[in-house]
Structure 1
Amino acid sequence: MSSTSENVDMLSNLPRDLLSHILSLMPAKFAMQTSILSKNWRYIWKLVTNLDFSDLDIIDLDTKSIHALNCFYEFVDRVLEHHKASQVNILRLRFPCGWFPHSCVSKWISDAVRLNVSELDIPIFPRGLVELPFDLFTLKSLKLLKLYVDGFRFDVDALKFPSSVNLPSLKTLDIYSFGKPPVNAFKLIHGCPLLENLSLTVSWCSDEQEFVFNIPTLKRLKLDTPDCSSVIKKVVFKGDIQATTQAQATSSVNTIQRRQPSMMQRLHNFSLVKCNAM
């Protein structure tokens, strides 16, 4: 037997758990392509724990053809429908803004819930009221949630929300609210009892805003307020944040009220950021 054959046999005979871990380090399209290597590799891709669809070479994006986009949808559908892992660590998708139906996104999120995903990073195009599976808002396994629109965060107040949110494991949340009081944003925030990292962007506010963050577990907060400098009047912190560093604020906030005297000294990596409109 040749040296090359021996090396192939050694790799193929590794435990399935180890092989699936190796494939989890690859983009989804490469992991799936290993199914043609041999009989032993045929179904390993169904066990990977990281599903990264952010490599847009899956389709020819230069053409933006309906056929190419349908191929992308079918690829994602096939991977998620046939996936056999009991839990997926990461589900990440990236594709052109405005070129995908909400029904696809809703289905993929339902698959993510079924697979007990830990980190969900997915874009949603804001065209009317969007209804996502309510199971997403009570998913016990979810630790990170990012809702984007082709590089921009999605307006969570364009989502149809359940009456209550309970994400008991969520530690990182990155969301966007546009043009109105961020009611859903704070409903989502307050449904995360272990939240440590929060990035909240609020833009094009028309009414005066007061933000109250009652999050005892919070370690990092980024509040981005483009185009809202004249209406954000107060940011209030409640609770005892266990961390150390300095805080900085910009002119977008007129008042910072501290309910605990040592809050700003213990707040880790806090920033209030005002960005110029593009």
Structure 2
Amino acid sequence: MATKKRKHRKGMEQDKEPETVFEDRISELPEAIIIHILSFLPTLNAVRTSLLSKRWRHMWTSVPAIDICDSRDIPCLRRRDEGNSGRKKFYNFVDMCLKHQYADTTISKFRLSVNYYGGSSRVDDWLRFLGKKTVQELELHVLPMKARYCLPHSIINFRSLTLIKLTGLALVNFAPTSLPSLKELCLSYIQMDDRVLNNLLLSCIFLETLQVHYCYGLVNPKVSSLSLESLDFKTGGMTCYCHTLEVEAINLHSFAFEQSGGSRSKKCDINLVHCSRIRNLSLSKAFLTDQWFKVLIPQLPHLESLKLKDCYGFQHIKIWNQNLRNFDFTLHSQWDSPEATIDAPNLAYFCYTGYSLLKISVNAPNLLDIYIEVTDHIRKTYDVAWYTCLIEFLSEFNSSKNVSVFCCNEKALIIPDELKKMHSSPLPDLKHMKVKTGSRPFRKAMLQKSLLWIAPSNLEKFPF
């Protein structure tokens, strides 16, 4: 809607504000553009536009996208004094939408998000609508409240599908089918076994992106694909642990793995030896051994980015890779004290976040930026061992151009004078060092003196 100001006639009060007149310019647009705009709205809002005028009455039926969500739509349908009748109104609304004969046979996107209380016949009836259409993107989020909805095999047999996102469903006894157009498959909180996952992958010969998050029933899944480029796999929780994960994808460029839950007794062995084209590797809370790093990392000649977050099982990891450019290492455990050796001639960025500093050896002549964050907010005192480790840790980055350090406690950076006499400055050639603390420092003079000893050539001004 546009607005304009209308002037008042002579004789009217001069101090009166001009009248605001609203102009409907949207209705002047071509119908194709209006339909395109409506395709970005939830279906409930698109249907409500039928009340605007006769021209708009049936326009929503030409929208090639359907987006229905009970948690969003029920509050809009229910009055304050109606109690739980809003859900019945929602069911009637969905029945009305899906029984209506849409003008086009192609549905670019179908999204249904509902809480499932049992009684599969209602959801089955809704999904039969898809059998009459050519669907490109399918999103079904049927969250189990009292039971889990078992998806009929026929629903994901459409050869036109390019994207499938499923959440909360059960996939049982799925046989291989044909999904020649499918590029992206996302499975979250799905009940299925290893065979179902394998049959799905056999059906998607051109699949590029696969996401598997916290699916029930997977024990020793194997992801095998010639076309897959990106894999995001999450396991853990109460009953979602996998014993092993084997990936055979020669064209895989990106792999991310996360195991949630606090128990380290449930380990998942990850096998990536047949994925030599990986460029981005991200592992969170994974069980990894020294041998795992020794064997795998040198076999990834295209590896550019490596992220390790709170992984365990290793004592001395060795990162040897000619092409690695970014390495992000996080270790919040108070009990683990591993060692690390990094030999990466093209490494440009290194980030370390941890409760304590680890013993590290770095051979990275092209290293530009370093970020170090010490999350030791619980620690009260710092001993000689801590400061010695700090000096040795920082000394590995003297040839870098930029070093940024964050410490929760300023005491962590105030090196005692007796230790300064025993050691040389760890960063004598560094020109750019930035330091931040968790709170405003109380010992400013002592902190500045210590930092000037750490990096005597520093040109940066400290913010305290």
Taking structure 1 as the reference length, the TM-score comes to 0.75
Residue 50 of structure 1 is matched in structure 2 by 65
Give the number of aligned pairs: 256
Residue 395 of structure 2 is matched in structure 1 by none
Residue 133 of structure 2 is matched in structure 1 by 115
Tell me the secondary structure at the aligned position of residue 111 of structure 2.
strand
Deviation at 1:219, TM superposition (A): 1.9
Residue 234 of structure 2 is matched in structure 1 by 224
Letter in 2 for 1:120: L
- Per-residue CA deviation, residues 163-188 of structure 1 (Å, 9 max, x unaligned), is 4322211222222444x733223222
Letter in 2 for 1:30: N
Tell me the secondary structure at the aligned position of residue 256 of structure 1.
strand
1:187 aligns with 2:199: yes
d(CA) in 2 for partners of 1:143, 1:22: 22
Tell me the secondary structure at the aligned position of residue 135 of structure 1.
helix
Tell me the secondary structure at the aligned position of residue 107 of structure 2.
coil
d(CA) in 2 for partners of 1:230, 1:22: 41
Tell me the secondary structure at the aligned position of residue 245 of structure 2.
strand
Unaligned 5+ residue runs, structure 2? 5-19, 287-464
Residue 104 of structure 2 is matched in structure 1 by 85
1:235 aligns with 2:255: no
Tell me the secondary structure at the aligned position of residue 118 of structure 1.
strand
Shift in alpha-carbon separation, 1:65–1:230, aligned structure 2, 3 A: closer
Shift in alpha-carbon separation, 1:192–1:58, aligned structure 2, 3 A: farther
d(CA) in 2 for partners of 1:156, 1:64: 36
d(CA) in 2 for partners of 1:51, 1:156: 23
d(CA) in 2 for partners of 1:197, 1:273: 22
Residue 116 of structure 2 is matched in structure 1 by 98
Asked whether the 8 Å contact 1:221–1:269 carries over to 2, the reply is no
d(CA) in 2 for partners of 1:215, 1:124: 28
Asked whether the 8 Å contact 1:204–1:228 carries over to 2, the reply is no
Asked whether the 8 Å contact 1:213–1:238 carries over to 2, the reply is yes
- Per-residue CA deviation, residues 84-142 of structure 1 (Å, 9 max, x unaligned), is 232222222233x334632222122221332322222223355367352x432321221
Residue 21 of structure 1 is matched in structure 2 by 36
Deviating more after overlay: 42-51 vs 56-65: 56-65
d(CA) in 1 for partners of 2:28, 2:110: 28
**2:150 aligned residue (118, 126, 130):** 130
1:39 aligns with 2:54: yes
Letter in 1 for 2:87: L
Tell me the secondary structure at the aligned position of residue 53 of structure 1.
strand
Shift in alpha-carbon separation, 1:22–1:5, aligned structure 2, 3 A: farther
Deviating more after overlay: 83-92 vs 33-42: 83-92
Residue 323 of structure 2 is matched in structure 1 by none
1:173 aligns with 2:181: no
Task: Give the share of equivalent positions with the same residue, in percent.
Answer: 23
d(CA) in 1 for partners of 2:214, 2:129: 30
d(CA) in 1 for partners of 2:85, 2:123: 18
Unaligned 5+ residue runs, structure 1? none
Asked whether the 8 Å contact 1:198–1:222 carries over to 2, the reply is yes
Asked whether the 8 Å contact 1:222–1:270 carries over to 2, the reply is no
Deviation at 1:200, TM superposition (A): 1.7
- Per-residue CA deviation, residues 237-257 of structure 1 (Å, 9 max, x unaligned), is 2232153x5766767422414
Of Structure 1 and Structure 2, the greater helix share is in 1
Taking structure 2 as the reference length, the TM-score comes to 0.48
Asked whether the 8 Å contact 2:138–2:161 carries over to 1, the reply is yes
Tell me the secondary structure at the aligned position of residue 116 of structure 2.
coil
d(CA) in 1 for partners of 2:37, 2:46: 9
Asked whether the 8 Å contact 1:50–1:89 carries over to 2, the reply is yes
Deviating more after overlay: 23-32 vs 78-87: 78-87
Residue 30 of structure 1 is matched in structure 2 by 45
d(CA) in 2 for partners of 1:63, 1:198: 45
Of Structure 1 and Structure 2, the greater strand share is in 2
What is the RMSD of the two structures over their aligned residues, measured on CA atoms? 3.5
Deviating more after overlay: 37-46 vs 247-256: 247-256
Deviation at 1:20, TM superposition (A): 0.7
d(CA) in 2 for partners of 1:137, 1:68: 30
Shift in alpha-carbon separation, 1:12–1:240, aligned structure 2, 3 A: same
Tell me the secondary structure at the aligned position of residue 220 of structure 2.
strand
Shift in alpha-carbon separation, 1:204–1:74, aligned structure 2, 3 A: closer
d(CA) in 2 for partners of 1:141, 1:272: 35
